[in-house]
A and B are shown apart, each in its own frame.
Chain A
Amino acid sequence: MQVEDGVDERPLVREAQEGSGAAMARLYSLHWRGAYRAAYLVVHDAAAAEDIAQDGFLAAVGALDRFDRRRPFRPWLHRIVVNRALDWARREALRRRVDGAESVFEPLPPPEEIGGELMTALKELPAEQRAVVVLRHLLEYTPGEIARMLELPRGTVNSRLRRGLDRLREAAEAEVSVEERR
């Protein structure tokens, strides 16, 4: 069980379970940025993503004693974070639909940097498609793992991935053609 910088997490999880605050802090440092990024790419709201990442860690702390340390920590945390991000995105969509009001959250700044078109296209995907794209292509889970995480049939994961990628591809091609015209 290793994360990207080669740190073996198992001793950290064991030590955190046994009461080491330093181990817990290390797990937090290793995973906060990934958790935040995943949440942000699903909800596209910085304040909400911050809440969701924090909430995911709090849930992890609450369940730490029962966590099977033979299992990897990272997918466990990501499952919590992405499911909460999805819940948030659905509630927000419902809230907007119901009262027709603008969000109380600040809108995203217009995309200006490289990748802006892609981010805009990602934001415009339905939350369910965003979640599977983020899990597959940012966090690199297999469709089978995503199906288990989100409690979806594997076929549904594949179809959401396909539809999401088709839309992103169109956005990326549009961006390339704009760049080429400059």
Chain B
Amino acid sequence: MRDEALRQALRGAPVPVPPGAEQRGRRVVEAAYAEREAPDRGGTEGRRPLPRLALSLGIATLLAALLLSPAGAAVRDWVGDVVESPAPKPEPELARIPGGGRLLVQSAAGPWVVRPDGSRRLLGDYEEATWSPRGLFVAAAEGRTLSAVEPDGTPHWSLTAAARVRSPRWAPAGERIAYRSGEELRIVAGDGTGDRLLAASTAPVAPAWSPGGDAGLAYVSGDGRLRIVNSETGEALGTASALPNLSRLEWGANGTAILEASPRALRLRPLARWKVAPGLVLGKPRRLPLPGGISLTGAALAPERQAVAAVVTHWREHGTNSEVLVFPPGAEKPRSLLTVPGSLGEVAWSPDGRRLLVAWPGANQWLFLPVGRGRPRAVANISTAFSPGERAASFPRIEGWCCVR
């Protein structure tokens, strides 16, 4: 088939358009446009401050439009949730990180370090990155190369692996990095020396270090088993069946639990140590109840307690909405922190476990949500902040929130 013939066929192909679709979208877009804040251009030129009444009308129009929008029936189903837990009004840029600490963010251009005052620095052309335990270094992967760089971007060391490097994870004690290379799980010292094989076959899931500063490392083997090994000796410390279709593994809660997440399920497995012999007791996993018909788009285990944050997307016939859930330690049911239209992305706990950072790509925002008391904050224009000079900015991925001090 020649290109021109295909072009004609694609242009002429029957594409069903739902009745009124263009008009519904127009109302939503016009309302959003009316509600947006005029840019500050340092003068009166081009600046059109919106009167309070117009702003109120804009918001009201936006809400009305949403109710009639393609989200349609689905919106009407969950509008109560939206009203009960609305997203906060976004600030135009990140002026400080609520609660402090530093963020590691992966954009199309590479990883960025965001300092407590909101200033940021691009580390270089890497595909993946992870903090060292105290935030003194970042381990970054690009192709077959694993590198350690300082948070100002200064390279420290690099090694070249036999296959593509993925999922680097720096041990909490700082002296080791685990990473996947092809199907292998490998270990290298924090100074880049002593690179060695730990396991020949792993599933495509990032390994998780014991948060206690010991040598324990959890990973999922190629045969779908959750394995915990001593990364120094290779000794098996415990094994169990992993959650099917596991996509995320975290070892947190002061080392007392491992979180397993798949696109449809979430479970928490308690851990204990034998008193008289080396090894771990892997307890019976507890499945955390999730609403029916959802996709799990993010999950994270709190650093110092068995609290789990989850982001779920409800797929509806005419649109989607997403919800941030928190399972307090031992609770049977989750608590809903926020419900928004569209899809949310990944979630990360603050280092002190008091806040969550949630990505909201559809609104181009980050949401900082207090788990207890406090005011939620939203920050707008995230994609452009991490895509300077790009023609079309893409939304960055949150890799980690590190180190209050």
Residues of A within 8 A of B (CB): 16-19, 21, 24-25, 28-29, 32-33, 36-37, 40-41, 46-47, 50-51, 53-55, 57-59, 61-66, 68, 71, 75-76, 79-80, 83-84, 87, 91, 94-95, 98-99, 104-106, 109, 113-116, 118-119, 122, 133-134, 137-138, 140, 148-149, 151, 165, 168-169, 172-173
A59 to B384, CA, bound (A): 11
Encode B4-33 as 1/0 by CB contact (under 8 A) with A: 011101111111111001101110111011
Identity of the chain A residue whose Cβ is nearest the Cβ of B70 in the assembled complex: A50
Can you report 28 A-B residue pairs in the complex whose CB atoms are below 8 A from each other? A17-B46, A18-B48, A19-B38, A19-B46, A25-B26, A25-B30, A28-B25, A32-B26, A36-B17, A40-B15, A41-B13, A50-B21, A50-B25, A51-B320, A61-B29, A61-B33, A63-B364, A63-B384, A65-B38, A84-B362, A99-B264, A104-B293, A114-B12, A119-B13, A138-B7, A138-B10, A165-B6, A168-B1
The answer to whether B263 touches A98 (Cβ under 8 A) is yes
A79 to B362, CA, bound (A): 14
How distant is A14 from chain B, measured CB to nearest CB, in Å?
9
The answer to whether A119 touches B22 (Cβ under 8 A) is no
Query: Which one of A21, A65, A79 has the highest number of Cβ atoms from chain B below 10 Å of its Cβ?
Result: A65
Identity of the chain B residue whose Cβ is nearest the Cβ of A18 in the assembled complex: B46
The answer to whether B24 touches A137 (Cβ under 8 A) is no
The answer to whether B30 touches A21 (Cβ under 8 A) is yes
How distant is A165 from chain B, measured CB to nearest CB, in Å?
7
The answer to whether A47 touches B295 (Cβ under 8 A) is no
Contacts of B6 in A (CB 8 A): 133, 137, 165, 168, 172
A34 to B101, CA, bound (A): 43
Identity of the chain B residue whose Cβ is nearest the Cβ of A16 in the assembled complex: B33
B39 at the interface (CB under 8 A from A): yes
A40 to B313, CA, bound (A): 21
The 6 closest A-B pairs by CB, nearest first: A79-B392, A65-B39, A19-B48, A50-B70, A54-B25, A169-B1
The answer to whether B18 touches A91 (Cβ under 8 A) is no
How distant is A28 from chain B, measured CB to nearest CB, in Å?
6
The answer to whether A57 touches B25 (Cβ under 8 A) is yes
A172 to B10, CA, bound (A): 12
Contacts of B108 in A (CB 8 A): 151
How distant is B302 from chain A, measured CB to nearest CB, in Å?
26
Contacts of A118 in B (CB 8 A): 9-10, 13
B201 at the interface (CB under 8 A from A): no
The answer to whether B362 touches A76 (Cβ under 8 A) is no
A133 to B3, CA, bound (A): 10
Query: Which one of B15, B28, B264, B383 has the highest number of Cβ atoms from chain A below 10 Å of its Cβ?
Result: B15
Would A37 and B15 be within 8 Å (CB), given that A63-B381, A138-B10 are in contact?
Answer: yes
Residues of B within 8 A of A (CB): 1, 3, 5-7, 9-18, 21-22, 24-26, 28-30, 32-34, 36, 38-39, 46, 48, 69-71, 108, 245, 262-264, 293, 295, 313, 315-320, 342-343, 362-364, 380-381, 383-384, 391-394
Other 17 A-B pairs with CB < 8 A, given A28-B26, A55-B342, A80-B392: A21-B30, A25-B26, A25-B30, A28-B29, A46-B21, A51-B70, A55-B362, A62-B36, A62-B363, A75-B391, A76-B392, A115-B12, A137-B6, A137-B10, A151-B394, A168-B6, A172-B1
Query: Which one of A41, A59, A76 has the highest number of Cβ atoms from chain B below 10 Å of its Cβ?
Result: A59
A118 to B12, CA, bound (A): 11
A104 to B314, CA, bound (A): 11
How distant is A151 from chain B, measured CB to nearest CB, in Å?
5
A66 to B380, CA, bound (A): 12
The answer to whether A61 touches B32 (Cβ under 8 A) is yes
How distant is A36 from chain B, measured CB to nearest CB, in Å?
7
How distant is B317 from chain A, measured CB to nearest CB, in Å?
6
The answer to whether A63 touches B11 (Cβ under 8 A) is no
How distant is B50 from chain A, measured CB to nearest CB, in Å?
9
Contacts of B317 in A (CB 8 A): 47, 104-106
Contacts of A58 in B (CB 8 A): 28-29, 32, 362-363
A173 to B1, CA, bound (A): 8
Contacts of B394 in A (CB 8 A): 83, 151
Contacts of B364 in A (CB 8 A): 59, 62-63
Identity of the chain B residue whose Cβ is nearest the Cβ of A35 in the assembled complex: B25
Identity of the chain A residue whose Cβ is nearest the Cβ of B6 in the assembled complex: A137
How distant is B307 from chain A, measured CB to nearest CB, in Å?
25
Would A46 and B14 be within 8 Å (CB), given that A19-B48, A28-B26, A63-B381 are in contact?
Answer: no
